[in-house]
Amino acid sequence: MLCFSFTLPATRLAVPEFGSYLVGFGRSALAGVLALALLLILREKVPERRHWRGLLIVAVGTVFGFSIFTALALRTVPASHGAVVVGLLPAMTAIAAVLLARERPRPVFWLVCALGVVAVLVFAAVQGAGQLSAGDLYMLLAVVLAAAGYAEGGRLAREMGGWRVVSWALAFSLPVSMLATFLSPWPAHLPSLTACLAFGYVSLFSVFLGFFAWYKGLAMGGVARAGQVQLLQPVLTVLWSALLLNEQIGAATVVASLFVVGTALLSRLTR
């Protein structure tokens, strides 16, 4: 969670100089090369066919979905604004876990989750002068896809191990991510050191190493229960946005962030 809390600020630093598509696909490609090298060095066997569907969900949700749509969103919205929307991720992950595990939560669970979604939509509409911006829609789509990837990755990690799940998802995705990276618009000038470091961070930690601990934790504690750690992520992301990007954090952002965290916590308690 600590690794992931820097993702939006780092993406915000990288996107203006690298471009959204190069950041979105390029970080997955770089992480995929590292993952493939690790698998080859350790001589890991290809996963069984019964795991391929789950790895596809992980790839679509976390390797591509969250990376691409957050990069597109952060062209127009501040990282602190995006953090409020990402505050829905714990509740959405719980919903994905419920659906995948075929559990039957009480109606109040769905009510609390709906309350959190409404809070985010109201915040985004108020910030966008009465309507949702394209950046907000990109962030919402990123959250939905990431939730599916988290839930499925946590389930697979019980059998495969967390680091294998993310490594094989990245390795299987490598042909697509490499091709998309080469086809993406490249910067006309050499990006600054800050942008390069930010790109390196989201490639190494946000897409790859961070998931070693994340999927292992979800496997050990259960997706819904262990996912409670995510409740701190929006608050930390808002803090990093202020410290690293000098973003002005208004009262509305703070209140909305804490409210969304509260609804996510209630959704866990009401399961």
For 158-183, write each residue's pLDDT tens digit: 889 889 999 999 999 999 999 999 99
Residue 58 has pLDDT above 90, yes or no: yes
Residue 53 has pLDDT above 80, yes or no: yes
Residue 101 has pLDDT above 60, yes or no: no
Q: Which domain holds residue 264?
A: 2-269
pTM of the model: 0.85
Q: What is the pLDDT of residue 38?
A: 96
Q: What is the pLDDT of residue 207?
A: 94
Of all residues in the chain, what percent carry a pLDDT higher than 70?
87
Residue 233 has pLDDT above 90, yes or no: no
| CA–CA gap between residue 123 and residue 67 (Å, rounded) | 23
Q: What is the pLDDT of residue 102?
A: 60
Number of folded domains in the chain?
1
Choose the weakest-confidence range: 64-73, 86-95, 147-156, 251-260: 251-260
Instruction: Give per-residue pLDDT as tens, 11-21.
Output: 999 999 999 99
Q: What is the pLDDT of residue 111?
A: 77
Residue 27 has pLDDT above 60, yes or no: yes
Residues 6 or more apart whose CB falls under 8 angstroms from that of 234 comprise 83, 84, 86, 87, 257, 260, 261
Choose the weakest-confidence range: 15-19, 74-78, 141-145: 74-78
Choose the weakest-confidence range: 35-39, 58-62, 92-96, 111-115: 111-115
Q: How confident is the model at residue 28 (pLDDT cuts 50, 70, 90)?
A: very high
Q: Which residue has the higher pLDDT, 77 or 11?
A: 11
Residue 254 has pLDDT above 80, yes or no: no
